[in-house]
């Protein structure tokens, strides 16, 4: 009983100075036959009402495992340490069942594949209504009305009629809107969107991101937007965390991180963003592969791929340190050197794979990718050098 009233009290507290969600030094390890997979190592962030935090990194960097840890959805063999507090309430150590009341009501998640959240054999209206009734003592009729209202909120035309349809009767984009409706129907304070638009084509992506932001503003929730695509977060988030090899390597305001990155990996990521001004030109992905999470490199995890590596980088894993901007931190011992470079993008400039195939739709989705001009300059310079 004591636990329940403590919890109720924590949930009533509306102290704006207290983060909604506070993740501190989160680590997740999976024991396997090949050794311990250190999927997440020391991830920390605070989320306050209205925050839109982007978590960015290549595939395998620990983004989904971090969010599944917050949701209490990791497999039983996962070893989780650190702290995940929701309005001050510790979630680490709670059972799947205990966390059920947090899921969807307080913290909800949008997955990349809509069918993770939707059941093909029930109408979407029924599923939304049941999700609502799981947390509210209302009649079926009232829950149905709520379902229709939430479909309307996410921009589904003719929501009354559409509520009676099955998931397969919706297009990919419309189905992802239904998933957003499902995620917000219980008015959660935190929405974690894990690559919510990766499976969709670019124009639909733009509409879905727009819908998410509108819903976030209407409900004053906070969003964690997880993606491997920096272009997706550029116009959407106010803070960014860049992940590499299971840990945070750079974090700060979106302008600082995108325009004054202090970690070579981030510069490399920015360089691999498709660039509308480089139609037919090559992109510059980072050479090499992400580290093994069983055998991490000694010292800086990025050292095998880093163009600025020096001997000292192997001495131990660099700390996440404050840079020259407030609230902007980087895990690099050479961030000051990087800050002094005139064209840091050139660090990764090389001719390899990739061309921008559809610049028109890219611009539509990413109206203000901040690096576009810089990169165009770099490539123009390269071109000049090659031909002179």
86 or 302: whose CB is closer to ligand SF4?
302
Partnered with residue 141 across adjacent β-strands are none
Burial classification of residue 144, based on how many CB atoms lie within 10 Å of its CB (0-12 exposed, 13-18 middle, 19 or more buried): buried
Q: Which is nearer to ligand ADP, 36 or 357 (CB)?
A: 36
Half-sphere exposure of 62 (CA within 13 A, CB side): 29
Whose CA is closest to 135, among 105, 109, 100?
Answer: 105
Burial category of 11 from C-beta neighbours within 10 Å (exposed 0-12, middle 13-18, buried 19 and up): middle
Least spacing, CB of residue 37 vs ligand ADP, in Å: 4
Q: Minimal distance in Å, beta carbon 328 to ligand SF4?
A: 15
30 interacts with, out of ligand ADP, ligand SF4, Mg ion, none, CB within 5 to 8 A per kind = ligand ADP
Helices (H) and strands (E) in the chain, counts: 14, 12
Contacts 24+ apart (CB under 8 A), 201-210: 201/361, 202/358, 202/361, 202/362, 202/364, 202/365, 203/361, 203/364, 203/365, 204/172, 204/173, 204/176, 205/232, 205/365, 206/364, 206/365, 207/155, 207/173, 208/173, 208/176, 208/177, 208/180, 209/236, 209/365
Smallest distance, ligand ADP to C-beta of residue 75, A:
5
Q: Which does 109 bind (CB under 5 to 8 A by kind): ligand ADP, Mg ion, ligand SF4, none?
A: none
CB of 74 to ligand ADP, least distance (A): 7
Contact 259, 328 (CB under 8 A): no
Residues 6 or more apart whose CB falls under 8 angstroms from that of 202 comprise 358, 361, 362, 364, 365
Q: How far is the CB of 337 from ligand SF4 (least distance, A)?
A: 8
264 binds ligand ADP (CB under 6 A): no
Q: Is 110 in the site for ligand ADP (CB under 6 A)?
A: no
Q: Does 71 bind ligand ADP (CB under 6 A)?
A: no
Euclidean distance between CA atoms 254 and 55, whole angstroms: 11
Closer CB to ligand SF4, 312 or 355, in the complex: 312
Among 9, 13, 32, 98, the residue binding ligand ADP under the rule CB under 6 A is: 32
For the bound state, the minimum distance from the C-beta of residue 264 to ligand SF4, rounded and expressed in Å, comes to 5
Residues between 101 and 160 that touch Mg ion (CB under 5 A): none
| Residue 68 or 147 with smaller CB distance to ligand ADP | 68
Nearer to ligand ADP, 75 or 340 (CB): 75
Beta bridge partners of 244: 247
* Sign of the C-alpha dihedral computed for residues 158, 163, 167 and 169 taken in this order: negative
What is the rounded CA–CA span in Å between residue 325 and residue 339? Answer: 11
List of residues contacting ligand SF4 (CB under 6 A): 263-264, 300, 302-303, 306, 308-309, 313, 318, 332-334
What gap in Å lies between CA 386 and CA 351, rounded to an integer?
12
Determine if 64 is a binding residue for Mg ion (CB under 5 A): yes
The verdict on 62 binding ligand ADP (CB under 6 A) reads: yes
Partner from Mg ion, ligand ADP, ligand SF4, none contacting 387, C-beta within 5 to 8 A by type: none
**What is the closest distance, in whole angstroms, from the C-beta atom of residue 262 to ligand ADP in the complex?**
22
Phi and psi for 183 in degrees, rounded to 5? Answer: -70, -25
Structure tokens at 113: 């594949």
227 is a site residue for Mg ion (CB under 5 A): no
| Closest distance of CB 64 from Mg ion, Å | 3
Could you say which of 204, 269, 293, 320 contacts ligand ADP (CB under 6 A)? 293
Q: Say which entry of ligand ADP, ligand SF4, Mg ion, none residue 75 contacts (CB below 5 to 8 A, set by partner kind).
A: ligand ADP
- To ligand SF4, the closest distance from the beta carbon of 309 in angstroms equals 4
| Sequential DSSP letters for 150-208 | HHHHTT-SSHHHHTTS-GGGS-HHHHHHHHHHHHHTT--SEEEEESTTTTS-HHHHHHH
Residues facing 54 on adjacent strands = 225, 240
Q: Which does 293 bind (CB under 5 to 8 A by kind): Mg ion, ligand ADP, ligand SF4, none?
A: ligand ADP
**29 in contact with ligand ADP (CB under 6 A):** no
Size of the site for ligand ADP (CB under 6 A): 14
Interacting residue with ligand ADP among 20, 41, 64, 188 (CB under 6 A): 64
Chain residues that interact with ligand ADP, rule: CB under 6 A: 30, 32, 37, 39, 57, 59-65, 75, 293
């Amino acid at each position: 009983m004591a636990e329940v009233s403590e919890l109720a009290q924590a949930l009533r507290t509306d102290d704006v100075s207290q983060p909604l969600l506070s993740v501190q030094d989160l680590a997740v390890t999976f024991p396997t036959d090949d050794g311990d997979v250190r999927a997440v190592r020391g991830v920390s962030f605070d989320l306050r009402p209205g925050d839109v935090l982007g978590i960015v990194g290549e595939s395998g960097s620990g983004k989904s495992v971090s969010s599944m840890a917050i949701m209490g959805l990791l497999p039983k063999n996962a070893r989780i340490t650190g702290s995940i507090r929701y309005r001050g309430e510790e979630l680490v150590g709670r059972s799947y069942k205990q966390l059920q009341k947090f899921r969807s009501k307080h913290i909800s998640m949008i997955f990349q594949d809509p069918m993770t959240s939707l059941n093909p054999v029930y109408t979407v209206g029924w599923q939304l209504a049941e999700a609502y009734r799981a947390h509210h003592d209302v009649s079926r009729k009232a829950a149905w009305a709520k379902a229709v209202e939430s479909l309307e909120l996410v921009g589904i035309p003719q929501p009354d009629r559409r509520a009676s349809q099955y998931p397969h009767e919706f297009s990919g984009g419309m189905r992802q809107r239904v998933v957003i409706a499902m995620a917000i129907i219980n008015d959660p304070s935190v929405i974690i969107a894990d690559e919510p638009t990766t499976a969709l084509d670019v124009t639909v992506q733009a509409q879905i991101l727009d819908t998410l932001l509108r819903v976030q503003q209407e409900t004053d929730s906070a969003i964690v937007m997880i993606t491997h695509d920096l272009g997706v977060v550029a116009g959407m988030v106010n803070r960014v965390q860049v992940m590499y090899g299971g840990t945070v390597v750079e974090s700060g305001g979106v302008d600082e991180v995108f325009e004054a990155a202090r970690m070579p990996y981030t510069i490399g990521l920015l360089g691999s963003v498709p660039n509308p001004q480089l139609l037919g030109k090559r992109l510059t992905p980072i050479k090499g592969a992400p580290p093994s999470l069983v055998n991490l490199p000694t010292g800086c995890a990025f050292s095998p791929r880093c163009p600025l590596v020096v001997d000292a980088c192997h001495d131990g894993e660099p700390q996440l340190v404050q840079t020259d901007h407030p609230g902007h931190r980087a895990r690099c011992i050479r961030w000051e050197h990087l800050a002094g470079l005139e064209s840091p993008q050139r660090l990764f400039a090389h001719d390899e794979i990739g061309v921008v195939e559809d610049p028109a739709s890219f611009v539509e989705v990413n109206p203000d990718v901040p690096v576009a001009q810089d990169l165009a300059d770099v490539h123009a310079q390269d071109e000049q050098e090659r031909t002179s």
